[in-house]
A and B are shown apart, each in its own frame.
Chain A
Amino acid sequence: MSDRVAIIGIGWSGFRPVTPEYSYKELMYEAARRAYSDAGVDPRRDIESFVTVAEDFHEGTSIFDEYTPDQLGAVLKPMHTITGDGLHGLATAYMLIKTGQFSLVAVEGHSKASNLLTPDGVTAYAQDPVLNRPLRMNTHFVGGMEMNRYLYESGSTQEQCAQVVVKNRSNALENPSAPFGADLSVEDILSGPPLSWPLGVRETAEHADGAIVMVLASEEKAKVLSETPVWILGAGWSNDSPGLENRDWSSANYTKNAAKMAYRQAGIYHPYQTIDFAEVSDIYAYKELQSLEELGFFQFGEAGLVTEEGLTHKDGDFPVNVSGGCLGMGNLLDANGLARALEIVLQLRGTAGPRQLEGINVGLAHSWRGVPTASGAVMIMSN
């Protein structure tokens, strides 16, 4: 018996700027039912362990773990919640199966961002309470400073960042689940209001609501249950120093390390030659360029140029964020990484509809937890 792990079921609900019709539990239930039906499993009978990702301050509920079992079919079963990105959750589910103790595991992530009325107030509480927060600045300033130093060192331009927005929001037009599709020009983006210069409001992903559930299986189970298993080749995650005072502002070392870990596991030495397409964090537009370089697809300072040339366009040699990314699908808080992974699975299965890519075998999902964090995760998958 080999010890590979596959994603055999996916389901989602959303994604929309507001979802007043559903409670967060009902949102999660819709995604879970779809995922279990897709995998052909009964959660009560078949799924052995459950993982969710959630941040108490995003939910407004302390010890949010307690509020997740019933809508996932996890009552009286092994389950736990981790305060991480969706890719951390996916990696955790992957490891649970790797232990040999479980053969079917579900992972869930969601966003009810519309119910959080003071998102900037909560994000400010991610700043160091003694050293940074007393300065009383909106946490987007961290994005502005990171972008500024990144452009300064890499030679990338604001126009190139704007090009990322144009591409991703145009891609979102072909994704029925993406609420922020639009035909825009670089001028449209650059003429928008500033957020924290050089970062503009239109280069920043808007929040959206939604839930995503995935079912993971051991190789043995996957071969019985699925005709289109998507295999996990490697997973990695890493955190840089949390301090704003002493981090490397131009590069995202955490992403580089997370990728190294995943590549080592997958046996990948030439990412650009081996991997066919990627979904990377674009909570801010510059983050896509920076991440593509840290992931080893392009040299430092190259990503902006190749983006302008159309290489990362959906018809280009290396499509990036065909789903629309966070800019097109919305910033889904803790579920961002699962949204990136969702597109990888859809594409590798050949079920991505009008935005289906041809001739693809290996995809990479990347996520960043947003400001002020230096926390990233990577997962590599193949069909």
Chain B
Amino acid sequence: MKGSSIELDMVRAGYGGEEVLRGVSLSVDRGRIAAILGPSGCGKTTLLRVIAGLVIPRSGRVLLDGEDVTRLPPEKRDIGFVFQDLALFPHMNVFDNVAFGLKVRGVSREEIRRRVEWALEVAGLNPPRDFFSKKVTDLSGGQQQRVALARAIAYEPKVLLLDEPLSHLDLKIRQRLLVEFRRLQRELGITMVYVTHDQWEAMELADILVIMKDGQIVQAGPPSEVYSRPVNTYVAMFFGDANIIPVNGSSRRRYAVIRPEDLEISLDPNAASHANSFRATVENVVFQGPVIRVDLKWEHGTIRALIPRRQAQKLPRIGEEVTVRWRPEDAWIVEG
């Protein structure tokens, strides 16, 4: 199976008088995973529905493998869609749910049986045959999730679209399914667009991370790039934790973005003479497993530092005045 490339060109879309997507352009190469990250109401689900053909854009174009599909109905796009509420057919058993896309394609009975079994196995339901005649309403949340996934891949679509598919599951199952999504994409070469509001899910999956806000894409790129070089303070704070420090002596409003793990805390009073440093008071110290979080207060507000656990001996106490330092290359300057 080969995935198709996805391209959105200045797409505007909405419902009634409300414009939800305000000029979105995005391109995803074949076989890659794009994770769309943004707060609720930012338009990320609508973006997915536009790719699927469930929402027709008011203007702009949608291209799959370079072909303009803007006005093509969903059934002609060769896509798989995993809905947030799963949308399993309650009157069909597991087999018929997974077989649906194959039946409407007129696939032969033996082939349907083979593909259903394959899809359930790929989705991690083992042994697949045990699930054939089960009612979907009798399955656990994780199993329903897997059936929804199997149903969307059984006919080997070129594009798999997932709308917050893990939001109702607990952490353990989520982590397992995330690994399986990755494996799926690797083994099937399918192009995936994954909508989430969870940045850890996004990091786990994404080749390209897309940050959305108010119906527009604010930044798109590899997660490491978005993390280390956010285009503005919104992206810096939305994707990962960030300290935003105003830069002095500039005519425009500029800020230094410093990740908490890049800050260093020194108890040495002489350390304050460094250029990239200031004095702050320790407000809170929280043990977080691999790291210790230190909340500090300084003249421009609060700031957060993460100290590796192995340096725990050198930790300050609450109320203590310390010097906070960073390397100049760890401060990323943004405007606004």
A and B: bona fide binding partners: no
- Interface of B with A (CB < 8 Å)? none
